């Protein structure tokens, strides 16, 4: 797919966009929500950052096509969506047979704050938890790119079918058909217990995360097992492998040396948040060393008072969260 500029914008009637400084000032306020949009489309924060920058480069390059007949926000979303579709066409990716998304990356909650809609569109909701959590991102990545775009625009951002059809240069009937297929596909890949997840972390969830951190630091296998459901899921993108079952996962950890400080070392944990979920940054001090170094980021899913899934990312993600490389 090649980038198509909006055909209805044929002349320049927005002189405030004629200088790069003025254009930047007007468009920059949309950066974070466009980054979140690209993140949903791609599942990768690094790629979302690149495509957001590409969006602004394309917008500046084709600024003469913006006539002000639609909101600047809608125009930028059109460019961002097409940039993502172009990227997905150039680098098509397929989930693993077990459903893993090898390119999945977490997004810091800090990037989800202060994502405000235009003053004339106060009802726009762009970062509700159910539309940014890791399970939703994984399910989105199973959808073909264009139905994925339709579902995000219609069900997440609340765009009308007519506006979505115009953005994608197709018919409303095609948009409605794609939306139905996308909804069906999404349901197939969302976890069954998702409705039980805590919308906002309460005291009990915070206490559970605190116990997880304490058990991790002390290497207490039994204490950790008490926090998990029997069918716990564990994965480590981009490394392959989806582990299911509390005992299976804990055995995998102990085989790697967890719980034996003389073999693996000691842990220190720092609480953060990713995708509107609690996340634990793990630092490891190896035997014979004095420094706790960045090791892994565990993003936790909690339901019914227990941890149901852990998605672990390597220490290279710490920088995005403003976490230190070492303690």
**How many percent of the chain have pLDDT more than 70?**
85
> For the chain, how many structural domains are there in total?
2
pLDDT score recorded for residue 27 = 77
pLDDT at 36 over 80: yes
pLDDT score recorded for residue 70 = 67
Q: Which residue in the block uniquely carries the two structure tokens 């990716």?
A: 93
pLDDT at 167 over 70: yes
pLDDT score recorded for residue 314 = 95
Q: Does 283 reside within a domain?
A: yes
What is the bridge-based pairing of β-strands 306-314 and 266-274? unpaired
Comparing 66 with 157, the larger pLDDT belongs to 157
- Condensed to tens digits (0 to 9), the pLDDT of residues 74-103 reads 889 999 999 999 999 999 999 999 999 999
pLDDT score recorded for residue 310 = 97
Q: Does 2 reside within a domain?
A: no
CATH number (domain holding residue 280): 3.10.450.50
Please write down the HEC assignment for all residues of the chain: CCCCCCCCCCCCCCHHHCCHHHHHHHHHCCHHHHHHHHHHHHCCHHHHHHHHHHHHHHHHHCHHHCCCCCCHHHHHHHHHHHHHHHHHHHCCCCCCCCCCCCCCCCCEHHHHCCCCCCCCCCCCCCCCHHHCCHHHHHHHHCCCHHHHHHHHHHHHCCCCHHHHHHHHCCCHHHHHHHHHHHHHHHHHHCCHHHHHECCCCCHHHHHHHHHHHHHHHHCCHHHHHCCEEEEEEEEECCEEEEEECHHHHHHHHHHCCCCCCCCCCEEEEEEEEECCEEEEEEEEECCCCCCCEEEEEEEEEEECCEEEEEEEEEHHHHHHHCCCCEC
Residues 243 and 305 in one domain: yes
pLDDT at 34 over 60: yes
Residues 151 and 76 in one domain: yes
Residues 241 and 184 in one domain: no
pLDDT score recorded for residue 3 = 34
Comparing 296 with 23, the larger pLDDT belongs to 296
Q: Does 5 reside within a domain?
A: no
Residues 126 and 208 in one domain: no
Which pLDDT band, with edges at 50, 70 and 90, does 11 fall under? very low
pLDDT score recorded for residue 60 = 85
Q: Does 9 reside within a domain?
A: no
- Condensed to tens digits (0 to 9), the pLDDT of residues 239-259 reads 999 999 999 999 999 999 999
CATH number (domain holding residue 153): 1.20.140.160
Which pLDDT band, with edges at 50, 70 and 90, does 54 fall under? very high
Q: Does 163 reside within a domain?
A: yes
| Mean pLDDT for the stretch of residues 189-201 | 66
| Mean pLDDT for the stretch of residues 173-186 | 96
Q: Does 7 reside within a domain?
A: no
Residues 162 and 302 in one domain: no
pLDDT at 5 over 90: no
Q: Of the candidates 151, 169, 192, which is a domain's last residue?
A: 192
Q: Are 143 and 185 in contact (CB under 8 A)?
A: yes
- Domain extent for 242: 196-321
pLDDT at 4 over 50: no
pLDDT score recorded for residue 9 = 33
Q: Of the candidates 144, 160, 192, which is a domain's last residue?
A: 192
pLDDT score recorded for residue 200 = 56
pLDDT at 298 over 50: yes
pLDDT averaged over every residue in the chain: 87
Which pLDDT band, with edges at 50, 70 and 90, does 119 fall under? very low
Comparing 43 with 75, the larger pLDDT belongs to 43
Residues 35 and 95 in one domain: yes
| Mean pLDDT for the stretch of residues 289-310 | 95
pLDDT at 116 over 70: no
């Amino acid at each position: 797919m090649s980038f198509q500029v909006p055909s209805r914008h044929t002349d320049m009637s927005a002189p405030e966009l004629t200088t790069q400084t003025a254009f930047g000032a007007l468009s920059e306020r949309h950066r974070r929500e466009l980054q979140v949009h690209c993140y949903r489309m791609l599942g990768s924060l690094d790629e979302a950052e690149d495509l957001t920058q590409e969006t602004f480069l394309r917008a500046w390059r084709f600024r003469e096509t913006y006539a002000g007949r639609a909101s600047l926000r809608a125009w930028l979303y059109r460019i961002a969506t097409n940039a993502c579709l172009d990227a997905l066409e150039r680098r098509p990716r397929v989930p693993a047979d077990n459903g893993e998304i090898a390119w999945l990356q977490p997004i810091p909650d800090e990037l989800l704050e202060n994502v405000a809609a235009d003053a004339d569109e106060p009802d726009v909701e762009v970062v509700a938890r159910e539309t940014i959590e890791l399970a939703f991102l994984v399910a989105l990545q199973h959808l073909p790119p264009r139905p994925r775009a339709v579902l995000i625009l219609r069900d997440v951002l609340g765009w009308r079918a007519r506006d979505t059809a115009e953005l994608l240069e197709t018919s409303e009937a095609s948009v409605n058909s794609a939306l139905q297929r996308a909804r069906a596909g999404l349901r197939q890949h969302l976890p069954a217990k998702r409705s039980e997840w805590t919308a906002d972390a309460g005291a009990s969830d915070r206490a559970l995360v605190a116990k997880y951190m304490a058990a991790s630091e002390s290497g207490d296998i039994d204490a950790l097992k008490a926090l998990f459901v029997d069918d716990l899921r564990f994965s480590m993108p981009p490394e392959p492998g989806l582990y299911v079952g509390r005992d299976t996962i804990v055995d995998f950890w102990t085989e790697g040396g967890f719980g034996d400080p003389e073999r693996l070392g000691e842990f220190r944990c720092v609480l953060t948040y990713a995708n509107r979920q609690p996340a634990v940054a793990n630092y490891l001090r190896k035997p014979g060393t004095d420094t706790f170094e960045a090791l892994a980021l565990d993003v936790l899913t909690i339901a019914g008072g227990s941890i149901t899934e852990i998605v672990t990312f390597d220490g290279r993600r710490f920088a995005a969260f403003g976490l230190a490389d070492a303690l």
